[in-house]
Amino acid sequence: MTDKATVVIPSPVDGIVTELSWEVGDIVPVGAVLYVMDATGEVHEQRALASHVAPGSDQAAPVEAVAAETAAAAAETPAAVAPAQHSASAVLRGAGKALATPATRRMAREIGIDIGDVAGSGPGGRVMPEDLARHASGPVIAQPLLQAAIPVASVAAAPAKTAALWAPAPRVEVAGESEERVKIRGLRRAIYETMARSKATAAHFTFVDEVDCEALVKTREILTQKAKASGVKFTYLAMIAKAVTLTLAHFPKMNAQVDDRASEIVLKKHIHLGIAVATDAGLLVPVIKHAQRMTMLELAWHIADLSERARQNKLKPDELKGSTFTITSLGKLGGLFATPIINHPEVGILGVHQMQKRAVVMDDDSIVARQRMNISLSFDHRIIDGHEGAAFAIAVKGYLEQPEAMLLEMA
């Protein structure tokens, strides 16, 4: 897990991890040793068994003795109760954490299997995908193998005990106050640090305006059918993105970054548009490179593609950096307006809010229902003056209220 994305790195060799150098949530310096792996190919049963004996227990006997006792208990267990072909290492692993790859664990969750109950046939007792398939098609295991041999009479009486499991669990009252501490790590740490740096560095000010979306709605209805024929989902966000790129061409100062160390404004000649995407891990900002060259159809495709891969943690590192201006859409949860935090070191950000029907007083004093939405733009007041930010917002609004005007400036 980096500060930008979660990446799966395959192991370079087969082997057994013998030492972990860091705790979960630690920030590891580049080049540091993450773990030590034994790649000799030998299965160290003693180490695997010893690592799964509960700490603080009275089991001071050699590992071989523990394995022998477990095997003996398995031999005495009735065939209808004990699973077939459990190795001693797999048995003891059931009391701890099963050895398996993340993909195998995900497969177990998807088919509803507790991976701790599965006998692994891989190196060191690792649970393999074929073990899951075999377990899923096998007999239901009534009791864990680690328990003592169960008399046949006890097995016959099991249904009565099973029925009691469906009773509501007794409520456990927690005395006093309680809390849970969660380490700030990975993407959340990146957001934590970036937002703090932005607020501490940029002098934020926000401009809010209301956009009449009647023409935007009608234009999208027409273009949606055209886009559908090309297999592209055409959204309002693609039209908003195009309006922003066209407006940035008239306001080059908005398409800039601040070099605080050099006290310089870096005016970007290209437009790399950041699109904020909410994911389970946190807010990501994938970047559409050279957005000024793209049609609305191309922007719609890139927005859909980047958003989907962001939610699946499949973005490349290069797709998460280099933005020159950012759009954040709050969609149906948009509310009236918000104060977007600038994606430092950029100097501006556009927040898009919920579109809904509102009562509007027309020029002839009639009151009609029209589709409206608010836009919120935050700027770095060190670089952008108030009247410049307002002019930029009004220009974006003009394109959205008259989307046909965008056709005049498209290459």
148-156 contacts: CB < 8 A, separation 24 or more? 148/73, 149/73, 149/76, 149/77, 149/78, 150/77, 150/78, 150/81, 152/78, 155/78, 155/80, 155/81
Structure token pair of residue 270: 């290209």
User: How many residues are present in the chain?
Assistant: 411
Identity of the amino acid at 301 = W
Give the whole-angstrom CA distance, residue 86 versus residue 234. 55
Please say whether the beta carbons of 5 and 313 come within 8 A: yes
Kindly state the DSSP code that residue 169 receives in the 8-state scheme.
P
- DSSP-assigned states of every residue in 296-361: HHHHHHHHHHHHHHHHTT---GGGGS--SEEEEE-GGG--S---PPP-TTBSEEEEE---EEEEEE
195-202 contacts: CB < 8 A, separation 24 or more? 195/341, 197/344, 198/341, 198/342, 198/343, 198/344, 199/341, 201/260, 201/344, 202/258, 202/342, 202/344, 202/347, 202/380, 202/381, 202/382
Question: Cα torsion at 327, 329, 334, 340 (round to 10°)?
Answer: -30
Identity of the amino acid at 104 = T
Q: Determine which one of 135, 270, 381, 387 is catalytic.
A: 381
Nearest CA to 215 out of 37, 347, 397 is that of 397
Give the whole-angstrom CA distance, residue 1 versus residue 8. 8
Is 302 among the residues known to form the active site? Answer: no
Please say whether the beta carbons of 81 and 99 come within 8 A: no
Q: Which residues are catalytic?
A: 381
